[in-house]
C-alpha cells in the first residue's frame, strides 16, 4: 500500500524546512528591528507558529519561502506596533543583550530611523540578497513600488550618512 502526502502535508513540510533552514535569517531580521535577543526569538517563534498553522492558505509551494518571510516581517511589524504603545521611558529601559552584527554604526542608526517598510526593502535587498520581485512578493506590493521604496530609501540613507560626516 502506498501512502501519498496530501497537499496540506506537503505545504506544512515545506514551511517547516524553510523555517529551519532560514531561522538565522529570520532572527537577524527581527533583531535588526527590536534590538533585543528575547524579543527577536519571540517574534520568530510566533511567526513560525503562525506560518505552520496557516499552511493551508499557501497557494503555491514554490512561493513558500517568500510567504514565510512575509509572515515573519508582519510579525515584526505587529510587535513594533505593540511596543509603540509603551512610553518612551519604558523603551529606554530595555537592555540590549546582544552585540549588533552591523559593522557600520552610522548605517545601523540611519536604518533604524527609517520607516519600517523602507528599511525592510533595503535589508531584504542588500542584507538578505532577495531580488526586487521576491521583495515585492514578501511585502505584497508591486515591483515598481518596491523599486521606488528602494531608491527613495537609498537616497535618504545617502543624505543622512553624508550629513553625519
Render pLDDT for 44-77 as a digit per residue (tens, 0 to 9): 999 999 999 998 898 888 889 999 999 999 999 9
Q: Do domains 1-101 and 102-165 have the same CATH topology?
A: no
Return contacts of 39-43, CB within 8 angstroms, 24+ apart.
39/79, 42/79, 43/72, 43/75, 43/76, 43/79
Burial class for 143, CB neighbours closer than 10 Å (0-12, 13-18, 19+) = middle
Give the model confidence (pLDDT) of 71-108 as tens digits: 999 999 999 888 776 544 454 455 444 444 445 677 78
CA–CA separation, 3 vs 24, rounded Å?
Answer: 34
Question: How is domain 102-165 classified at the architecture level of CATH?
Answer: Orthogonal Bundle (1.10)
Confidence of residue 9 (pLDDT cuts 50, 70, 90): confident
In the CATH scheme, what is the code of domain 1-101? 1.10.1740.10
Which residue matches cell numbers 513600488? 145
Reported pTM: 0.67
Mean pLDDT of 104-122: 83
For residue 11, what is its C-alpha cell? 505545504
In the chain, where the domains are located? 1-101, 102-165
pLDDT digits (tens, 9 = 90+) for 128-161: 888 898 888 888 889 999 999 899 988 888 888 8
**What local confidence, expressed as pLDDT, does residue 91 receive?**
46
Amino acid at each position: 500500500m502506498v501512502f501519498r502526502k496530501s497537499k496540506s502535508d506537503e505545504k506544512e513540510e515545506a514551511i517547516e524546512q524553510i523555517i529551519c533552514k532560514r531561522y538565522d535569517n529570520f532572527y537577524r531580521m527581527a533583531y535588526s528591528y527590536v534590538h533585543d535577543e528575547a524579543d527577536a526569538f519571540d517574534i520568530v517563534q510566533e511567526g513560525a507558529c503562525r506560518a505552520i498553522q496557516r499552511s493551508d492558505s499557501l497557494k503555491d509551494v514554490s512561493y513558500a519561502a517568500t510567504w514565510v518571510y512575509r509572515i515573519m516581517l508582519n510579525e515584526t511589524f505587529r510587535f513594533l506596533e505593540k511596543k509603540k504603545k509603551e512610553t518612551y521611558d519604558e523603551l529606554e529601559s530595555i537592555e540590549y543583550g546582544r552585540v549588533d552584527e552591523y559593522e557600520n554604526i552610522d548605517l545601523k542608526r540611519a536604518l533604524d530611523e527609517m520607516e519600517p517598510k523602507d528599511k525592510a526593502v533595503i535589508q531584504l535587498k542588500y542584507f538578505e540578497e532577495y531580488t526586487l520581485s521576491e521583495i515585492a512578493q514578501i511585502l505584497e506590493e508591486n515591483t515598481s513600488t518596491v523599486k521606488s521604496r528602494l531608491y527613495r530609501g537609498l537616497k535618504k540613507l545617502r543624505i543622512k550618512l553624508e550629513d553625519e560626516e
